[in-house]
Chains A and B, each alone.
Chain A
């Protein structure tokens, strides 16, 4: 990001100028990673609450922790594949191949949207509502909070997609927008894997 550091300095003197006038190496990915640690702790708190509830608070009669596994498993696959497609998009960007990069991006967004659609289908087919019992509330809170993250991710991907157009802000020389969205997306995927493990499989 040295190019942004000082608009006035000449290109040749950029490195020193960056040191002298408050500009510095691009720390935005580092900052995002720190933020994701914080975000992960929110999920960790939810997971801890869920596991404790499950360990010590019995469910009312007739309620069960059993969930239909088919749809969420497909959803898990969708997200895992989308992480791969995003990775491909990033590789293509760095190689300067904007066409494939944008296509892979679009595919990633589509997979994310499909995940959200699947989540909606699951919500409407579940036999319990938000306030039915402790498990139901926790289930919706956890998947809902994660779903918000996915929604935000899809929006980010689409924004990046717009910015990768010819003359857009995201280029192979300045890949920050895509890299940030990718880091975030992998994080959201990772959270889902944990969530799937403890909510559906456990």
Chain B
């Protein structure tokens, strides 16, 4: 007895979905997740990977099947079926992708919000807390004509990035200066300047980034975060490291001949090791270390 085509279709479709889900959740293409938003990112990745695998396998399967099943046998000079269209099918394959991309869009928006991407970068309570921003803005504006026309009391403008998630206290501010071909990290809480980024595990870090010459980009693959560092336009990047270790910092925007060599390291310490590092390097170590010690959940 021949198996009905609709049943075959159903079974093939189910196999496709299952294999897509299996691939999405079992094949790992990503590096270690070492920041609070990396697992969030990875869940988005798995969803996209699963949907992509289902679609790709399905379409490749259809193409290969057609090429084999409908290949022209030698000697056959007849035409195929004269089907010019089918409204129902058209509606189905307009509606399904539309629903899928709508779902993906809303889901990624949700992910983005959880990463802090939608929080307002300006007029944020976190901005007023940090006098560091003021000094940084001042140093930026010395390089260009001072914007005297702007309201002087307003918090300086941040142009983009991933903002702080609301309610976070005990944020560690670090000023990042990108130049050809290095990153310089300055810790206002202790006046330390370093070529490597050292951060305590579990404590939110806020990078205030500026560039001296051309556009650079700050990228830590293990944090799943990247932000362009743009001359004349300070940007902010917030993250919370969750796994101790050393990870590469990579410049991801072509910035000149040594672009490929513009790398640094972010070292995530356990909190006491971080305190030790602070004390070792800080000119005013004793006062700062105690204040910076406690991590937040």
> Is chain A's interface secondary structure helix, strand, loop, or mixed overall?
loop
Contacts of B146 in A (CB 8 A): 60-61
Indicate if A133 sits at the interface (CB-CB under 8 A).
yes
Chain B 127-159: CB-based contact to A (< 8 A → 1; otherwise 0) = 000000000000000001111111000000000
Indicate if A77 sits at the interface (CB-CB under 8 A).
no
Indicate if A201 sits at the interface (CB-CB under 8 A).
no
List the B residue with the shortest CB-CB distance to A58: B147
Give the complex CA separation of A82 and B210 in angstroms. 51
Give the complex CA separation of A58 and B148 in angstroms. 8
Count B interface residues, CB 8 Å: 7
| Shortest Cβ gap from A60 to chain B (Å) | 3
List the B residue with the shortest CB-CB distance to A62: B148
| Shortest Cβ gap from A131 to chain B (Å) | 12
Chain B, 13-41, CB within 8 A of any chain A CB? none
| Shortest Cβ gap from A12 to chain B (Å) | 43
Give the complex CA separation of A58 and B154 in angstroms. 14
| Shortest Cβ gap from B176 to chain A (Å) | 22
Chain B 263-293: CB-based contact to A (< 8 A → 1; otherwise 0) = 0000000000000000000000000000000
Indicate if A59 sits at the interface (CB-CB under 8 A).
yes
List the B residue with the shortest CB-CB distance to A60: B145
| Shortest Cβ gap from B231 to chain A (Å) | 13
| Shortest Cβ gap from B121 to chain A (Å) | 14
Give the complex CA separation of A197 and B144 in angstroms. 29
Give the complex CA separation of A133 and B144 in angstroms. 11
Contacts of A133 in B (CB 8 A): 145
Chain A, 131-178, CB within 8 A of any chain B CB? 133
Contacts of B145 in A (CB 8 A): 59-61, 133
Contacts of A61 in B (CB 8 A): 145-149
Contacts of A60 in B (CB 8 A): 144-148
Chain B, 148-175, CB within 8 A of any chain A CB? 148-150
Give the complex CA separation of A133 and B149 in angstroms. 14
Contacts of B148 in A (CB 8 A): 60-61
Q: Chain A: residues with CB nearer than 8 A to chain B?
A: 58-61, 133
17 A-B residue pairings within 8 Å (CB atoms): A58-B147, A58-B149, A58-B150, A59-B145, A59-B147, A59-B149, A60-B144, A60-B145, A60-B146, A60-B147, A60-B148, A61-B145, A61-B146, A61-B147, A61-B148, A61-B149, A133-B145
Nearest 7 Cβ contacts at the A-B interface: A60-B145, A58-B147, A61-B148, A58-B150, A58-B149, A59-B149, A61-B146
